[in-house]
Amino acid sequence: MQCKQTFEEVLNERGISRRSFLKYCALTAAALGLSPLMASKIAHAIETGPRTPVLWLHGLECTCCSESFIRSSHPTIEDILFNMISLDYDDILSAAAGTQLEEVRRRIMKEYKGKYILAIEGNIPTKDDGVYCLVGGDSFLNTVKETAADAAAIIAWGNCASFGCVQNAHPNPTGAAPVSDIIKNKPIVKVPGCPPIAEVMTGVIAHFHTFGTLPELDRLGRPKAFYNTRIHDKCYRRAFFDAGMFVESFDDEATKKGWCLYKMGCKGPTTYNSCSKIQWNGGTSFPIGSGHPCIGCSEPGFWDNGPFYGRLAKVPFLGSDSNADKVGIVAVGAAAAGAAAHATVTALKKAKQGGEENKDNA
C-alpha cells in the first residue's frame, strides 16, 4: 500500500508537467460543478494530501456500477485508481482473494481507523441473519457493520445501495435493504442510478479527496452537483414536449424524427440525474438520445413505481393546467391545418399557372 505518497510525487515520477496537472484540476472542478476558481484549491489538496484509502464492498448487485466506474473519462479511472485514491479492497478488481484479501481489509481498517472511505455496491439482505449473501464465510450484513464502524464516510453506489433497487422490490424475499437502513451513525452519500454515471462516481471521490468532506446533498442524500435538475429540464427533446409533439409508437414516423418520448413512459419529468448533461461513455449518448424512455433509475423504489413503459399520469405544460393529450391535439390540429392551407395554396398556384398557360396558347 502507498497511501503516504502524494499525487504530486506520483506526477513527478511519471514526468507529467505542471501545466497538464493544472488542466486536470480545472476539468475535475468542472466535473464537480464547482467554480473554475476552485481549481487552485483542488490542486493544493491533491499536491499536499496523501491518497485516500478506499474499501469497496459488493453485496446483492450485478456489478454494473463497477462497469460504469472503470469507464470514467473526467477524471479518468487511471487517475482515480493510481493517483487519487488507494483502492485497497475490492472483490472484483483486487488480484488477491479469499482469506488473504479479508486480512487486507481488516489491516486497512486498523491502520487507517476513521480515515478510510467505505464504498458499497449492492444492497444488504437481512432476512435469516443475512444468509443470502456471504463473504468469507460470514454474512454481508456483518461485514458491512464491521467495516462501517471506523469509516470516515460511506458512499452508496447505485440504486441498490442507495434505495434498494430490484432486490428490494415487492415481495423482497431476502429482506434486501439499502445501506442507510443498516448504518445510522455515519455520513452517507447516495449515488443512485442503474448504474450511476461514471463521471458522477469519480467526481464524488474527487470531492472527498479534495475537501475531506462529502459534497452538499439533497433531501434524499444525493450530491446536489449532479442531482439538482430533472433529466426533462436539460433534455434535447424538451422542445417537442412543449410543442405537444409526441412519439405514439416505437415504429412510427415521430420516432424517426426524434420527437418526445413522454407518452412511451419516459420518467424524465420526475427523475433527477445528470444523464442529459454529462451523458455516458465520455459524453457519447444517454438512453433518451438512443431512442429509449428514461426509466427513472436514480429515484427511490423505481422498480415498484409502475411499469417502465407506463405513461406518467400528469405533467404540467409550461406551468399551465393543460396536458399531453390537449397540447398534442392542438399541435396535430395546427399541423393538419397548416398542411391543408399549404395544399390549398399549392392548388391555387397550379390553377393560376394553368390559366396563364391557357391564355398564352389561345
Binding-site residue numbers for [4Fe-4S] cluster are: 62, 65, 160, 194, 232, 235, 260, 266
Q: How far apart are CA 103 and CA 171, in angstroms?
A: 36
Instruction: Quote the CA–CA distance of 122 and 168 in Å, as a whole number.
Output: 11
Beta carbons within 10 angstroms of residue 7's beta carbon: 22
Phi and psi at residue 188, in whole multiples of 5°?
-125, 130
Look at the block and give the residue holding cell 427523475.
271
- Write out the binding residues for [3Fe-4S] cluster: 275, 294, 297
Residue 75: which of 210, 213, 250 has the closest Cα?
210
* Start-to-end CA span in the chain (Å): 100
φ and ψ of 315, to 5 deg: -130, 120
Residues 6+ apart with CB under 8 A from 269: 230, 232, 262, 312, 315
Please give the torsion angle defined by the CA atoms of residues 66, 205, 215 and 25, in that order, rounded to the nearest 10 degrees: -130
Binding residues: 62, 65, 160, 194, 232, 235, 260, 266, 275, 294, 297
CA distance 274 to 269: 13
Count of positions (residues) in the chain = 362
